[in-house]
Amino acid sequence: MFIDEAEIYVRSGKGGDGFMHFHREKFVSRGGPDGGDGGRGGDLILKVDRHLNTLASFRHQTRYIAADGQKGGINNQTGKSAENLIVKVPAGTIVREKETGALLGDLTHDGQELIVCKGGRGGRGNTHFVSPSNQAPRTAEKGAPCEEKYLALELKLIADVGIVGVPNAGKSSFLAAATNATPKIANYPFTTLEPNLGVAELDAEHSIVLSDVPGLIEGAHMGVGLGDSFLRHIQRTRVILHVLNGESEDPIADFDQINQEMALFDANLGEKTQLVVYNKMDIPEAAERWPEIEAELKERGYEPMSMSAATSGNIKPILWKLYEMVQNAPEETVDEDEVLPLYTPEDDPRQFTISRNDYGDYVVRGTAIERAAKMTFWEHPGSLRRFQNLMKTLGIEDALRQAGVEDGDTVVIGEDFELEWVE
């Protein structure tokens, strides 16, 4: 089954905790601090694999969690960093954050990587906290927390040529005749319920990739007949092969309808280079109408060709014409509205807010302070003092006083850490 949309949960690894330890050795009564740093948590990386062409693997596994870094040890031993977790996706995968819809990346070529969740850095051991006034620091630092996201993945097939036309025009028959693809072929509407890819080898040195897009009907741009799902697969193609059904009551009307549906879905589709091919020349009635159809299309500025997909008649010249058009087609441009960095800049992480909850507690929220709380060993007096200094440096202490905090009041940092205010 062809799967072109998926939703997954991803999480990087947490950094390993730093270690608090003092050197112990025979005849050395007062060894210095030698607690090692924690290891780095693993990144969560999406990587393009050219052997994949659907998102089907995400039907069975939807959670991907990288390993955590290991904690530091004695004698300044750094904990082992975790391996990055690489999740393979097909070329043409668009990655968005599910909750906000923000574009994180557009993966188009083999081997391309996108770090969607950065692993947490390792916490520092007590060696790092030595100072002239504190030669024996009884504090260390927890590893930085992980990152987690829900991602929405969308696949847009990448092909040189996208084949469009009304249902039953002969698109799948052409793809089968031109390539080694084996699409389902029959004489009823919507035979093709999923896009098919095929590689047409013109000779030993020349080839093009074709995508057979399911037949489009009126209203496709609004989702009628799953049309909007199909239309996006031709957004990346450089050339459109428009197949006309020679047995249709009005092939020109069909031609206008398909072009209109493409333009309504994406204005750029209406500007793409098109080769119009009239099919079913093996049927006498269709062959008789060809001169009339050809004249009408030429009057509109096209250079139409004719073929019989069923008998492979005139397939090779059409493929060479498509190859020539692909080589001369303009490079694809990206909509400026879609150009976003892989990581959008956050607001100043030092910013914070103070509010009151239903219990009257003071709730402090902010990137830097919440991150610091997660990295603090609350059982170590030295770590607690460091956190208090950070609250003062960020201006949180003064802000709480201005908000009316008093002795004995509860101050909540983020969602998980409750402190008692003492002047």
Mean pLDDT value of segment 167-184: 74
Residue 170 has pLDDT above 70, yes or no: yes
- Torsion angle, alpha carbons of 297, 299, 300, 302, to 10: 60
Domain coverage including residue 361: 353-420
Q: How many CB atoms lie within 10 A of CB 230?
A: 23
In a domain, 64, yes or no: yes
Mean pLDDT value of segment 53-73: 90
In a domain, 42, yes or no: yes
Pick from 214, 157, 149: which is nearest to 4 by CA?
157
Name the H helices within 137-187. Answer: 171-178
Q: Name the region of 111 (left: φ>0; alpha: ψ -120 to 50; beta: rest).
A: left
Residue 241: per-residue pLDDT: 93
Domain end among 333, 366, 397: 333
Residue 121: per-residue pLDDT: 94
Domain end among 333, 366, 383: 333
Q: Are residues 97 and 146 in the same domain?
A: yes
Range with top average pLDDT, 44-58, 155-169, 400-414: 400-414
Residue 2: per-residue pLDDT: 47
Q: Are residues 125 and 210 in the same domain?
A: no
Residue 228 has pLDDT above 70, yes or no: no
| Per-residue pLDDT tens digits for 191-213 | 334 566 777 878 777 778 887 76
Q: Are residues 38 and 84 in the same domain?
A: yes
| Per-residue pLDDT tens digits for 85-118 | 999 998 889 999 998 888 999 898 889 999 999 9
Domain end among 108, 129, 155: 155
User: Can you give the CATH number for the domain in which 109 is found?
Assistant: 2.70.210.12
Q: How confident is the model at residue 345 (pLDDT cuts 50, 70, 90)?
A: very low
Residue 184 has pLDDT above 50, yes or no: no
Q: Strands (DSSP E) along 12-146, which ranges?
A: 44-48, 63-65, 85-89, 93-97, 103-107, 113-117
Cβ atoms of 42 and 14 closer than 8 Å: no
Q: Are residues 374 and 324 in the same domain?
A: no
Q: Are residues 297 and 401 in the same domain?
A: no
Q: Are residues 238 and 371 in the same domain?
A: no
According to DSSP, the residues that pair with 6 across neighbouring strands are 153
Give the separation between CA 195 and CA 293, rounded to whole angstroms.
28
Q: How confident is the model at residue 317 (pLDDT cuts 50, 70, 90)?
A: very high
Q: What share of the chain in percent tops pLDDT 90?
A: 45
Give the separation between CA 203 and CA 291, rounded to whole angstroms.
31
Residue 416: per-residue pLDDT: 84
Give the separation between CA 339 and CA 18, rounded to whole angstroms.
39
- Torsion angle, alpha carbons of 245, 247, 253, 256, to 10: 0
Q: How confident is the model at residue 367 (pLDDT cuts 50, 70, 90)?
A: confident
Residue 17: per-residue pLDDT: 95
Residue 158: per-residue pLDDT: 67
Q: Are residues 29 and 2 in the same domain?
A: yes
Distances (CA, A) of 100 to 307, 335, 338: 48, 19, 14
Place of tokens 């139409």: 304
User: Can you give the CATH number for the domain in which 372 is found?
Assistant: 3.30.300
For β-strands 305-306 and 353-356, DSSP reports them as unpaired
Give the separation between CA 188 and CA 196, rounded to whole angstroms.
18
Q: Are residues 327 and 389 in the same domain?
A: no
Cβ atoms of 19 and 125 closer than 8 Å: yes
| Per-residue pLDDT tens digits for 254-308 | 898 888 777 777 777 778 889 999 999 999 999 999 999 999 999 999 999 999 9
Q: Are residues 137 and 250 in the same domain?
A: no
Distances (CA, A) of 30 to 22, 26, 74, 125, 130: 8, 10, 15, 18, 14
For β-strands 93-97 and 103-107, DSSP reports them as antiparallel
Q: Are residues 262 and 276 in the same domain?
A: yes
Residue 264: per-residue pLDDT: 72
Total domains, the chain? 3
Q: Are residues 233 and 180 in the same domain?
A: yes
Q: How confident is the model at residue 168 (pLDDT cuts 50, 70, 90)?
A: confident
In a domain, 344, yes or no: no
Residue 342: per-residue pLDDT: 35
Residue 337 has pLDDT above 70, yes or no: no
User: Can you give the CATH number for the domain in which 260 is found?
Assistant: 3.40.50.300
Residue 399's identity, in one-letter code, is A
**Angle subtended at Cα 112 by Cα 108 and Cα 116, rounded to the nearest 5 degrees:** 100
Q: Are residues 148 and 6 in the same domain?
A: yes
